[in-house]
Structure 1
């Protein structure tokens, strides 16, 4: 049986283009998930977190700490990145009156914001759209932190 060489070439190219399309068309869920360490730095460990929205439906505010330099970092990370919305990440160390904040329109995360917090209580929080989270008196030995969430 004799096969036309140009017909085989067309079939091979068609199969190759279908395979290439399948490889390049990765689903959105396969995108790398943003972590606090990606935002703050890999030497920062997550020490606390607070959900934004019902059970974290909008995202999470993370408090991280680097024991090598004594700094805390806060990042607010959306559960599902998308169109830019109002977001923030902030931290305040009352004993030293030091603070840092990041407010703006973001698609996936706000921050990082850094403050030296070794051996100090910290207040921190953030927002996604109109849902705000605040944690006061956090990471203090013997002190119970206070959490508040509000919608504006």
Structure 2
């Protein structure tokens, strides 16, 4: 009987040790979720994505173009919607001294759309999400 008791105690001790080791063992940490925000269609029908740029690790800005109208459109999207943060977005034909369209404010998920008629011209587009700036100049000429 005492041998049986020792076997059971040993099995319990081994099980407790395995649980303790599992609890103390370093865990492989998963990479943080920084999936790119997908274009959300905010520019409307007929617009196709022609360019994009990351906004740090918190979002993505997209430039779209509608070949039927010659209009460019930009939108910047957070990876994860949340509490309102400062967002700004500007667009212009390259060479213009002022922006052609802008949007901004305290927003939860995206800023824009902003539009510019830029058929035959290059486009500058820039902005920020929660203080993380992005921008491209002289892009998508034509």
Query: What's the TM-score once normalised by structure 2's chain length?
Result: 0.68
Instruction: Give the length in aligned residue pairs.
Output: 106
Structure 1 segments unaligned to the other structure (5+ residues) = 1-33, 142-152
State the match for 2:62 in structure 1.
62
State the match for 2:7 in structure 1.
none
Q: Confirm or deny: 8 A CA contact 2:55 2:129 kept in the other structure.
A: yes
Q: Confirm or deny: 8 A CA contact 1:95 1:120 kept in the other structure.
A: no
State the match for 2:93 in structure 1.
93
1:74-107 CA-to-partner distances (Å, cap 9, x unmatched) read 1010100000000112101134556111111100
Higher alpha-carbon Rg: 2
Q: Confirm or deny: 8 A CA contact 1:40 1:73 kept in the other structure.
A: yes
Q: Confirm or deny: 8 A CA contact 2:122 2:141 kept in the other structure.
A: yes
How far apart are the structure 2 equivalents of 1:94 and 1:134?
13
How far apart are the structure 2 equivalents of 1:58 and 1:35?
12
How far apart are the structure 2 equivalents of 1:140 and 1:62?
16
How far apart are the structure 1 equivalents of 2:94 and 2:44?
24
Compute the displacement of 1:140 (Å): 2.6
Compute the displacement of 1:108 (Å): 0.4
State the match for 2:124 in structure 1.
123
Q: Aligned with 1:80: secondary structure? A: coil
Query: What's the TM-score once normalised by structure 1's chain length?
Result: 0.64
Taking CA–CA contacts closer than 8 Å with sequence separation of 6 or more, which of the two structures ends up with the larger relative contact order? 2
Q: Confirm or deny: 8 A CA contact 2:89 2:111 kept in the other structure.
A: yes
How far apart are the structure 1 equivalents of 2:118 and 2:104?
21
Distance 1:96 1:125, change over 3 A: closer
Q: Aligned with 1:76: secondary structure? A: strand
Compute the displacement of 1:121 (Å): 0.6
Q: Aligned with 2:68: secondary structure? A: coil
